[in-house]
């Protein structure tokens, strides 16, 4: 079965999607700075197991349309794209799997639309309903103005730095944040004073086994446009806006079957409050089936450890 690429119109935007297989719908939502291609190892195993596997380039990313204004990248917009995509694909519901930024979108879609979401899987980022991420103000208080999410807030600055040499940006970021990165322990991403965002990431001596030159070339092509990073960065520029937009849903629990997976060398595990949040997962997600830690794995869960991720996904899909 070959991958099929096409576009689907949702909420006035055309989203590029890659899909394979037939059967119950499984949506795979990438994170930053990735694209549909980050799920390259999941398509065939899930499709061969009898599922229709669809991975969109999300709003503002890669081959999908960019929204006109910053405030059109809020969490309600992102969740709205996924609910509209399920309907546009002709499905009555889906299992939604998200990694990195895709995880808050997946968790929140499950929180708000359990009628459409049969099950939810989060890779790397655990559920923090209803907003998905702490406010920029709270992050600044803990990590300072050079914390990457705070650094991303200034329009144009990180956009230009990341886009100046996309191959170097992606090579440095993908390797540094992986289990093959230079730091023996996961650490928050903080840009040193006087450095650019790219200069904060060391140049790797070589690519790890999970990231080939061909893989890097695909990601680089996805980010070859001069404004390619602006849409993705605008997701971060709505973190504080999301606090207000989602306030009415405070206290809701995610009531569908769920799975969480993270690498023990993922930066997310080093963030303040995450260990305590994981202890609370059974209360936040009462139907959580498993909370899996992958030893030696960094941030790019499904790319670094495809076999373990695929096994866990298939076990979860069969169980619901």
Q: What are the residue numbers of the active site?
A: 100, 299
Other beta carbons within 10 angstroms of residue 1's beta carbon come to 11
| DSSP designation for 190 | B
Cα(272)–Cα(128) distance, rounded to whole angstroms? 13
Answer whether 24's CB lies under 8 Å from 49's CB.
no
Strand order in the sheet with 94-99: 4-10, 13-20, 52-56, 25-29, 94-99, 117-123, 258-263, 288-294
Alpha helices in 177-295 (DSSP H): 213-222, 230-236, 239-245, 274-279, 281-284
CA angle 102/61/310 to nearest 5° reads 40
For 70, other C-beta atoms within 10 Å of its C-beta total 16
The helix-helix angle for 75-88 and 102-112 (nearest 10°) equals 70
Residues in the chain: 320
Q: Other C-beta atoms within 10 Å of 138: how many?
A: 14
CA distances from 263 to 147, 270, 303 (A): 21, 11, 11
The residues pairing with 7 across neighbouring beta strands, listed in sequence order, are 16
Q: What CA–CA distances, in Å, run from 313 to 66, 167, 261, 289, 292?
A: 30, 31, 10, 11, 11
DSSP code of residue 265: T
Residue 152 backbone phi and psi in degrees, to 5: -70, -15
């Amino acid at each position: 079965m070959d991958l099929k690429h096409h576009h689907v119109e949702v909420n006035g935007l055309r989203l590029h999607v890659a899909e394979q297989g037939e059967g119950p719908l499984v949506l795979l939502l990438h994170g930053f700075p990735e694209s549909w291609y980050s799920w390259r190892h999941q398509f065939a195993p899930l499709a061969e197991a009898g599922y229709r596997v669809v991975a969109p380039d999300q709003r503002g990313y890669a081959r999908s349309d960019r929204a006109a204004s910053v405030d059109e990248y809020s969490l309600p917009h992102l969740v709205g794209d996924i609910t509209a995509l399920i309907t546009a694909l002709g499905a009555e519901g889906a299992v939604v799997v998200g990694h990195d930024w895709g995880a808050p979108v997946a968790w929140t879609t499950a929180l708000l639309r359990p009628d459409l979401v049969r099950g939810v899987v989060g890779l790397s980022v655990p559920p923090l309903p209803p907003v998905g991420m702490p406010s920029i103000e709270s992050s600044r208080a803990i990590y300072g103005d050079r914390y990457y999410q705070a650094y991303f807030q200034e329009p144009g600055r990180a956009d230009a730095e990341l886009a100046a040499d996309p191959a170097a940006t992606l090579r440095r970021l993908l390797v540094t944040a992986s289990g093959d990165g230079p730091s023996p322990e996961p650490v928050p991403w903080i840009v040193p004073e006087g450095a650019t965002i790219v200069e904060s990431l060391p140049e790797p001596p070589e690519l790890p086994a999970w990231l080939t030159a061909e893989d890097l070339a695909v990601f680089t092509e996805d980010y070859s446009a001069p404004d390619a990073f602006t849409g993705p960065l605008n997701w971060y520029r709505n973190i504080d806006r999301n606090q207000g937009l989602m306030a009415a849903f405070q206290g809701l629990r995610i009531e569908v079957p769920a799975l969480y997976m993270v690498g023990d060398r993922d930066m997310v595990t080093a963030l303040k409050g995450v260990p305590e949040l994981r202890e609370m997962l059974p209360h936040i997600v009462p139907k959580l089936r498993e909370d899996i830690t992958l030893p030696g794995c960094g941030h790019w869960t499904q790319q670094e450890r495809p076999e373990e991720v695929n096994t866990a996904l298939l076990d979860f899909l069969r169980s619901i």
